[in-house]
């Protein structure tokens, strides 16, 4: 891309990316709030949070990725001007989210296979079960809200989602504090005592917030005139589940969900294995994991915005512009990740100090951040490339790459490096550092492979279909924030 092309691409991506970024930061801040509060209770509660959060994320993200198939589908329909059809797909995605919540809740209420994998101590395992019990209540509204989020981003209305996610965070903080630390509150009818629930309070607080957030989304859908043209506003009938639409969502959503599952579990399963090393090691891993998760929100926002614009332009028939915006999104994301990753690396001691003053946990965390710059750059590249490919409804190739790179090299290689069953890895790897170093290598392989595949796909499209642009009146309106 030329310098002018980068500037033009940034101007188009930014209006969609920044609301997604702010909203996603609010979402990941749920975990930050949990981590900061639980870190002030006990190392056992913090270890339970690390294991429990890994269980929930491992279950949630696969189903979330499946539901988010509504994004490319609704985005292409929106780009083609088929608004009613786009709104219909949003309703079908909500039905899909409700259906997927059933097996998800069952897994959260029976986490024994995950606890066995983590070899959690009995005290930690008991707290994990209590924490996941609250999150089982949170899962159904979270998956339905995922469909609402995916649809709004697909039709260039991310600010509505951002507002609800910020509202959820504003509610999460006080509710979390009350349930985690407890409170004695005098009332005219006597003292109200809420016991200190520790990590279990985090799960209950999330459930309360998720149901409130879903209620706000339903109210917006029924009251806001914007959604009427999609057949979603007040007076519109609720569509019944459609076998045809659900099958289309699953054809794209299942490989998408599996790819997201492999991507995330390649990282979250590290907590299960690191927990075998001890509570201090997993506490340090939890802080480092939360930090890189916060950083990941920026390339994730760029990926969402780029994917939305690509899907809309594909639907509008402007294949050339779809190619341009997809590639410039990747370039911008990698540059931003390099700057942010380097900054966090050089300020790592100050950043870790914001989480905890416990010198033992600080000492366990800092060595893990030696990989943060390269880790973040590779993470940005693979994420944006994968999202752009999904806009073309390509999900199987990213899944294969993720299995090999993230599970094979990252997770499998990390296990071999940290526990050294063959007796060949260096001593400094016999800890959580072994997992982080190999996870960085796996992400680098995934980023390079997905970028190469995206470049090949875009070159092939350029040769096969040098299509003319869509009508300017339609094309120029796509991607703008809708009101």
> Residue 481's pLDDT is what?
57
Asked, for residue 480, whether it belongs to a domain, the answer is no
Displacement of CA 244 from its chain's centroid (Å) = 28
Q: How far apart are CA 342 and CA 194, in angstroms?
A: 43
Q: How confident is the model at residue 145 (pLDDT cuts 50, 70, 90)?
A: very high
Interacting residues of 389 by C-beta distance below 8 A, sequence separation 6+: 395, 397, 398, 450, 453, 454, 457
Q: In degrees rounded to 5, what are phi and psi of residue 469?
A: -70, 155
Asked, for residue 482, whether it belongs to a domain, the answer is no
Asked, for residue 424, whether it belongs to a domain, the answer is yes
Asked, for residue 353, whether it belongs to a domain, the answer is yes
Asked, for residue 474, whether it belongs to a domain, the answer is no
- pLDDT, the chain, mean: 87
> Residue 288's pLDDT is what?
82
322-336 average pLDDT score: 93
Highest mean pLDDT: which of 13-22, 189-198, 208-217?
Answer: 208-217
Distances (CA, A) of 356 to 41, 176, 483: 11, 18, 42
Distances (CA, A) of 362 to 220, 272, 350: 44, 20, 10
Q: How confident is the model at residue 474 (pLDDT cuts 50, 70, 90)?
A: very low
Asked, for residue 483, whether it belongs to a domain, the answer is no
* Strand ranges, E, within 332-441: none
Asked, for residue 363, whether it belongs to a domain, the answer is yes
Q: Which structure tokens are listed for 434?
A: 């072994």
Total domain count for the chain? 1
Q: Is the pLDDT of residue 18 over 70?
A: yes
Domain assignment of residue 234, given as a range: 3-469
Asked, for residue 460, whether it belongs to a domain, the answer is yes
What is the largest distance, in Å, between two alpha-carbon atoms of the chain?
A: 77
């Amino acid at each position: 891309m030329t310098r002018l092309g980068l500037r033009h691409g940034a101007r188009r991506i930014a209006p969609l990316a920044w609301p997604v970024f702010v909203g996603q930061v609010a979402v990941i801040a749920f975990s930050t709030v949990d981590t900061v509060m639980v870190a002030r209770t006990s190392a056992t509660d913090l270890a339970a949070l690390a294991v429990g959060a890994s269980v929930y994320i491992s279950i949630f993200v696969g189903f979330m990725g499946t539901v988010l198939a509504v994004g490319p589908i609704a985005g292409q329909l929106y780009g083609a001007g088929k608004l009613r059809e786009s709104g219909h797909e949003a309703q079908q995605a909500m039905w899909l989210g409700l259906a997927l919540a059933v097996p998800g809740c069952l897994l959260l209420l029976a986490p024994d296979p995950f606890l066995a994998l983590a070899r959690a101590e009995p005290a930690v395992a008991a707290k994990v079960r209590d924490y996941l019990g609250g999150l089982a209540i949170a899962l159904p509204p979270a998956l339905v809200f995922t469909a609402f989020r995916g649809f709004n981003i697909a039709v260039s209305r991310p600010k509505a989602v951002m507002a609800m996610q910020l509202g959820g965070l504003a509610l999460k903080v006080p509710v979390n504090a009350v349930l985690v630390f407890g409170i004695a509150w005098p009332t005219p009818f006597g003292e109200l005592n809420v016991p200190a629930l520790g990590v279990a309070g985090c799960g209950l607080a999330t459930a309360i917030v998720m149901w409130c957030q879903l209620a706000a989304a339903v109210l917006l859908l029924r009251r806001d005139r914007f959604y009427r043209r999609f057949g979603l506003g007040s007076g519109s009938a609720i569509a019944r589940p459609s076998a045809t639409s659900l099958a289309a969502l699953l054809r794209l959503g299942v490989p998408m969900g599996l790819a997201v599952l492999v991507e995330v579990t390649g990282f979250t399963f590290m907590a299960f294995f690191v927990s075998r090393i001890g509570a201090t090691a997993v506490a340090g891993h939890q802080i480092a994991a939360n930090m890189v998760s916060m950083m990941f929100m920026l390339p994730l926002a760029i990926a969402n915005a780029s994917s939305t614009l690509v899907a809309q332009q594909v639907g509008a028939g402007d294949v050339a512009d779809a190619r341009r915006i997809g590639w410039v999104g990747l370039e911008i994301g990698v540059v931003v990740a390099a700057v942010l990753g380097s900054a966090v690396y050089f300020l790592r001691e100050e950043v870790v100090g914001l989480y905890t003053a416990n010198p033992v946990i600080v000492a366990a965390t800092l060595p893990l951040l030696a990989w943060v710059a390269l880790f973040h750059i590779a993470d940005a590249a693979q994420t944006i490339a994968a999202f752009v490919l999904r806009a073309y409804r390509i999900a199987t190739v990213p899944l294969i790459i993720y299995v090999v790179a993230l599970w094979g090299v990252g997770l499998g290689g990390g296990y071999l490096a940290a526990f050294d069953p063959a007796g060949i890895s260096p001593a400094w790897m016999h800890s959580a550092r072994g997992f982080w170093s190999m996870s960085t290598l796996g992400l680098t392989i995934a980023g390079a492979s997905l970028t190469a595949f995206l470049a090949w796909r875009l070159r092939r499209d350029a040769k096969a279909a040098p299509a003319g642009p869509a009508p300017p009146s339609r094309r120029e309106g796509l991607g703008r924030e809708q009101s």
